[in-house]
Amino acid sequence: MSLPRVSVITIFWRARTYLAEAIASVRRQDYPDWELILVDDGSDDGSLDIARSAALEDPDRIRLVRHWTGRNRGMSRARNLGVSRARGEFVTFLDSDDVWLPANLKTHLARLDAHPGVEALCAPAEWWYSWTGHEADSGRDFVQEWRVPLDSVAAPPTLLTMVLRDEWSSLCNVLVRRELFLALGGYEPAFRGMYEDQAFHAKLCLAHPVFVASGCTYRYRQHPDSCTHRSHTSGSTGAARVRYVAWLRRYLATAGRTGRDFAELHDSLPLTGARER
């Protein structure tokens, strides 16, 4: 059996309400050469049964993996576990409560194929409120507006600077060559929840060019059970932001960067205002 071109990593924890829809959106892709790795992060709500069923229905393309302890170990370790089992040339991530439109993989791989010197791609996401079907949510959806040229290659550290200035610009839909992911060290285990994505994206965008695609094929579901919404509700977002900025300063130093421009930018950043989810 030939290896898949792209490995899709979906981690889940207590995702029973949305997981089946996320899986279905991968199976509806116009591009067939994928594998889906479902990573259980210690679920206890029945979502594990949904993942097992999907793997049994499509065993050639869908696999279920778990931490050997069966316990919750946080989002970063779960993502890294998924990539460690990946066989694709590229890896990409779909959260268990989000969905892709059918053209997602096909369009993004075509764009990277057209730019052989670039090993990563990002594309804007839609903040998706209307999934509820409620009239009050029908007009709330919006697509990220990035203040960088689209359908072009962003040199480092353009995207990192963009996200630091405006967290509504944070990267959700990212495709990266697996070898580059591994060379960067993957996700940072210290980040179990909030900012785990931004820490990895910072490492990527600090040192490597990224193709910035136009068009939106990622629906970023807004609901009260999400990690970010719970963080806002509990009031822990500010502390998480402080920890992320401190980590980034240390990373800039260890990466051999002076960090002067970034330090000045950090000093002006608010400690709140992270995106809601």
For residue 276, is it within any domain? no
Higher pLDDT, 276 or 246: 246
For residue 275, is it within any domain? no
What pLDDT, on the 0 to 100 scale, is given for residue 72?
A: 81
For residue 274, is it within any domain? no
Measure the CA–CA gap between 177 and 116, rounded to whole angstroms: 11
Average pLDDT over residues 1-23: 95
Which of 118, 101, 195, 199 lies closest to 153, judged by CA? 118
pLDDT in tens, 70-96: 888 899 999 999 999 999 999 999 999
Where residue 66 falls among pLDDT bands split at 50, 70, 90?
Answer: very high
Average pLDDT, the chain: 89
Q: What is the DSSP string of 47-101?
A: HHHHHHHHHHHSTTTEEEEE-TT-S---HHHHHHHHHHT--SSEEEE--TT-EE-
Q: Tell me which of 144-153, 160-169, 233-242 is least confident.
A: 233-242
Average pLDDT over residues 227-238: 55
User: Is residue 193 over pLDDT 80?
Assistant: no
Residue range of the domain that includes 68? 6-264
For residue 200, is it within any domain? yes
CATH number of the CATH domain containing 124: 3.90.550.10
User: Is residue 211 over pLDDT 60?
Assistant: yes
The verdict on pTM exceeding 0.75 is yes
Identify the three-state secondary structure at position 211.
Answer: strand
For residue 273, is it within any domain? no
Measure the CA–CA gap between 63 and 43, rounded to whole angstroms: 16
The number of domains in the chain is 1
For residue 109, is it within any domain? yes
What pLDDT, on the 0 to 100 scale, is given for residue 240?
A: 85
Contact 275, 244 (CB under 8 A): no
Where residue 237 falls among pLDDT bands split at 50, 70, 90?
Answer: low
For residue 130, is it within any domain? yes
User: Is residue 276 over pLDDT 80?
Assistant: no
Identify the three-state secondary structure at position 119.
Answer: coil
What pLDDT, on the 0 to 100 scale, is given for residue 261?
A: 53
For residue 270, is it within any domain? no
233: Cβ–Cβ under 8 A, 6 or more apart, which residues? Answer: 224
Strand 90-93 versus strand 6-12 pairing type: parallel
Where residue 69 falls among pLDDT bands split at 50, 70, 90?
Answer: confident
At which residue do the structure tokens 């940072």 appear?
A: 188
User: Is residue 140 over pLDDT 70?
Assistant: yes
What pLDDT, on the 0 to 100 scale, is given for residue 53?
A: 98
